[in-house]
Structure 1
């Protein structure tokens, strides 16, 4: 999984009455007369993790607020906010600078627990709880290494959390003496499960697993067992393609037995218990080579009678749960949008539920399993809190986190389709330029993955920013993308950079045939796998592109496979072969192999601490292009991994990314 990651940037508070304010949707929208700018984008606050209360009356959510000058480097502050499901004014529940996330309702709905990282508790994330009516947050855990995630038991008297086991005294002494070498293949840092009894004044934690590396856990409806998503070792490849589901039976506070429920190869998502606890639904790939965990499966709670329920579905599941013991509900990417379906387990057909235009990927159900909340976006705004009912009317928006956007006139955004050279139908999102006349310069923005996808939702950066400056923009969902079924997502197997890139070229030709763009002024820029496609465009297909931005991209498949943290995932579910075993093909599809053809000016951006696509990939490309005499610029960001998080770094990425195309594609016609 080379992540799709156009960098999300939040730096300045702009267009907001007060920091963190979130208000109900106004009855009358203001006139849209303003142009979307980089400054507006940099000031956006972000909504995520919407969780509806058990009684459906309130929604808790995370609001990411940009750091002000003087706050020091770091990602935006995360705060927990509450809003009534009926609408009204939201209120902040946690301190503005304490950084809080992962809100979880207690079963009685009177308390909200969350993760927060505070200096007084080892400086590591811990579980805190706060009364919904207001008050001070109290710690529920004091784990030495910090907590990765947690879940309330159905009775509310216990919770389970997963965290890395502390080092032994011997290991601590060795580290203190700088005996800190690492032996490849010998793993440390396994996440285990701990059970916390919340009754009484003293919070006590008991370790209940000593094997496996835990990714996630959820309680059975009766509270007598845990469904555990885990791997053998804390390895990125294992987490992505070699995880399994287990059942951990509990007797009081002690574990009874751990039973493996699945024996699958390939990607696997977390499971969901049916209301009675008799069945489990989960998402997974159909085999080891499936790029996504996007198909639906159901099995008995003992792991027997597992079966697929989504064969032939031309979409990609992102979430699944239960409406009742005989009906599953799931959310999926379907073409350029998202869909919500109910599916009876008998002979009934799946039924699409009304959600409206907002794109909802991860709903959260209330206790009645009919009302739900989600963070959903549209082409006019980034994710906001929405609520809905099953079945029912379209999603209803509760928050307007960035009221300044209500005055912006966005460029026209639409879904476009075209035919690939071999006849496949390809889709994408096209944004027409707001300024200029005649055929416009075009910027192609390929997503990462390659199993990512671009839906017709929020495209503020970089799409709407570029369109506001007079550039046409294309987000192509080339073969290999999610959202079109298993066969489509496998469509680039053994052919990375081949027909999938021909799909992109056909999209450019289609826009040129419409007279919408100037084929002589085309640029391309992306992050992760999108960075690879951009480097490929600027070398192998240099004659077609006037400018390229390679963000955390791959330049050499052989050296990448030998240095990334996901060699097996990238090779098995995307290549569907090992580059080590096919060195000729791997080199033939490497941008470095085409330096003699390269003429396209290229900007290379990379996190200095990127383990997914090591920064040596960018350095190889930079030195190769310099040797070839091609204009190239390399910028690395200290401390940054595969995504750039610090606000000053993010602002720099935005300015360089957009500025590179202005510099090399020229100004649009007035």
Structure 2
């Protein structure tokens, strides 16, 4: 779960006692316990020798100001405008609004202003209108808005309080129709819909009854059909459908029993080809091009790492794809006729977006627009000239105080967990540490759990590592990026073997000779917040301090109060609570929090519909009732994750201060 109004009742749920509720990870492991041991993963990786880890010397190293890190802006979406300028949705003002970057770069022009986030922006092909989705206070009930491409008053095209209409969007070539997904507030089912941008008339094309998402990806050139992905709320599978606009008649084009996950990124300009992410027999997702007439699939660049299909060039002769190589991107351009791919020389780190929409070809096809950040390089947009190979920074979203040369360096490490499973992690190593076993450590579990920490700029990790904390962000079993078997290996075992994977990361650092085993902290958001609470409850003697951000504490109460779509996702992870009540008890931190010893800080948005604030309230109450050290901060008008800059800064300052107090003091 990534970055909703909830009852603030403070009724305490019963804490269920199970046999052997805690584990120290020093006892002999029972191979028959829940969860799946995946001993090799995809692909095989070389293990990191802990003694090979080093803390470089740097005489002028200093802590990075926390507030400056959050004035180093980021952006969630970007695309080319028809005239060659770039549309983006950065947080320049501390709010996610729409801006336009001139050709060749320069200071961007703000197109609209709102206290609420602007997501999924897209320009109509005629270049006259920009459409985007926005909600109120993080509540995730979106409406569709439109503004003139040159700026102007935003018009709410849908204005429905009990229905959410959101992206990703697709626009017909005549700029008249916009395809989107729509869902009633109380339903787990979304459907595919179109709105006529001239008349504002909405038509819902599908009438699905199952708990699914419908995600439009493109129109046929004549506007007769919409192509969309149909994906269950579990996110485990995907299929591609062609839906006739006039009748709503739907036909499955890709995916199904023979290919459980096939997701469309783009339709070629002539409508003859589809760019797909397709899962192979080994459970690894690869980029392919599907010829609609023949049904033949051409692999873009077969490899051992998962890939995401990208977009076509304006002439349809090329398509882009990216490979996720243990948390770092490689990008390829595929010649459709020659069926040959070439790798582009782009900066190390992340150079793609999660949707496959970036890198993107410029309107003339000569350049690619891509995002870039790494652990030591703040976020910016760049362009790559496909003729000369020159790479140019388009934006400068950072502050002068955030000097990449002064930031702690990241590396990818691979280690064995308690049962031999190979796990990878991103490591931020501070400057000037002594190999004397005195350094504090912060483990940062990610959200999801179907997610992956990659080598990209992380404000909190940078704040901590520049202050002498070794920061490590594992990708335990249950993470994406290592094949389907690894991704589903934590089903019905949340906070079990994957918690062992998190703890093993800290043990790697202890074995390096740098880390103090009595100064191990943990912090994360969403599923990372769940993992934080599970860690201090189930391994009470291992962790010295913790900060839980909008995390689950009781899967049953979370499932009862969360959004309908999230209920289905939880069911896919844990089963039906009526059938598997013991699974819900065993995997809920509430079962173990009575045993927690580490001081805990809780951070939570009041409007969170994914992990409602009741979860945080329960956590605080059980710890207070048991005499533990606990503090909490609730942020009004924030949902799942904090998007307002002042709240992001406050949360980070509190987190750093908490660890300074409980990890850096002598114990």
Q: Please, what TM-score do these two structures have when normalized by structure 1?
A: 0.75
Q: Quick one: distance in 1 between partners of 2:390 and 2:414?
A: 26
For 2:550, the equivalent position in structure 1 comes to 552
CA distance in 2, matches of 1:322, 1:344: 10
The superposition leaves residues 161-220 of structure 1 with CA deviations (integer Å, 9 ceiling, x where unpaired) of 54769x9xxxxxxxxxxxxxx9x6698x96631234xxxxxx334444454475435222
Q: In structure 2, how many angstroms separate the alpha carbons of the residues matched to 1:629 and 1:147? A: 46
What's the CA shift for 1:443? 0.8
Separation (CA, whole Å) in 1 of partners of 2:337 and 2:440: 53
Contact 1:314 1:486 in 2 (8 A): no
Query: 1:51 maps to which residue?
Result: 79
* CA gap 1:34/1:630 in 2 versus in 1, 3 angstroms: closer
* Alpha-carbon distance, 1:81 to partner: 1.8
- Rounded to whole Å, the distance in 2 between the matches of 1:419 and 1:548 is 24
Deviation at 1:111, TM superposition (A): 4.4
Q: Is the contact made by 2:594 and 2:623 (CA closer than 8 Å) also made in structure 1?
A: no
Distance 2:60 2:102 in 1: 27
The Cα of 1:527 is off from its aligned counterpart by 0.5
Which residue, out of 637, 648, 655, partners 1:657?
A: 655
Cα 1:106–1:617 change in 2 (3 A) is closer
The residue number in structure 2 matching 1:104 is 122
432 and 490 in structure 1: CA distance in 2 versus 1, 3 angstrom threshold: same
1:65 alignment counterpart? 92
Distance in structure 1 (CA, Å) of the matches to 2:490 and 2:497: 7
Q: What do the CA deviations read for 1:398-427 (whole angstroms, capped 9, x no partner)?
A: 221224245462123222222223333322
Whether contact under 8 Å (1:447, 1:529) holds in the other structure is yes
Shift in alpha-carbon separation, 1:568–1:316, aligned structure 2, 3 A = farther
Query: Counterpart in 2 of 1:413?
Result: 410
Q: Shift in Å at residue 647 of structure 1?
A: 3.9
Superposition deviation, residue 459 in structure 1: 1.9
Q: Give the structure, 1 or 2, with the largest relative contact order (CA under 8 Å, sep 6 or more).
A: 2
What does residue range 165-180 of structure 1 map to in structure 2 within 5 Å? none
1:226 aligned residue: 226
> Which of 232, 242, 246 is matched with 2:241 structurally?
246
The answer to whether residue 278 in structure 2 is matched with residue 259 in structure 1 is no
Distance 2:543 2:154 in 1: 55
Please state if 1:452 is matched with 2:451.
yes
Q: Given the alignment of the two structures, is residue 336 of structure 1 paired with residue 327 of structure 2, yes or no? A: yes
Taking structure 1 as reference, are residues 546 and 281 closer, same or farther at Cα in structure 2, changes over 3 Å only? same
Name the counterpart of 1:234. none
Are 1:542 and 2:540 an aligned pair?
yes
Q: Note the residue ranges of structure 1 that are not aligned, 5 or more in a row.
A: 5-30, 68-75, 168-181, 197-202, 232-236
Match of 1:513 among 488, 495, 511: 511
SS in 1 for 2:541: helix
Decide which of 90, 101, 106 is 1:89's aligned counterpart.
106
Distance 2:153 2:607 in 1: 35
* 1:320 and 2:347 correspond: no
* Aligned with 1:128 (options 122, 135, 147): 147
Q: Which residue of 1 aligns with 2:484?
A: 486
Alignment of 1:245-324 (within 5 A): 245-249=240-244, 254=246, 257-262=249-254, 264=256, 269-283=263-277, 295-296=286-287, 299=290, 301=292, 305=295, 309=299, 313-322=303-312
**In the alignment, does 2:393 pair up with 1:401?**
no
Q: Does 1:524 align with 2:522?
A: yes
> Take 1:606 and 1:656, find their aligned partners in 2: how far apart are those partners?
13
SS of equivalent to 1:78: coil
- Residue in 2 that maps onto 1:618: 616
Kindly report the root-mean-square deviation, in angstroms, between the aligned alpha carbons of the 2 structures. Answer: 4.0
Match of 2:48 in 1: none
2:626 aligned to which of 602, 625, 628: 628
Is the alpha carbon distance of 1:612 and 1:319 closer, same or farther for their aligned partners in structure 2, counting shifts above 3 Å? farther
Q: Hey, what's the Cα distance between the residues in 2 that align with 1:498 and 1:239? A: 20
Q: Deviations over 1:565-592 (max 9, x none)?
A: 32332332x44x4454333333223222
C-alpha displacement of 1:90: 3.2
Per the alignment, residue 19 of structure 2 pairs with: none
| Contact kept in structure 2, 1:454 and 1:476, CA below 8 Å | yes
Q: Which residue of 2 aligns with 1:645?
A: 643
Shift of 1:645: 3.0
Distance 2:134 2:581 in 1: 46
Cα drift, residue 500 of structure 1: 1.8
Find the aligned partners of 1:375 and 1:466 in 2 and give their Cα distance: 24
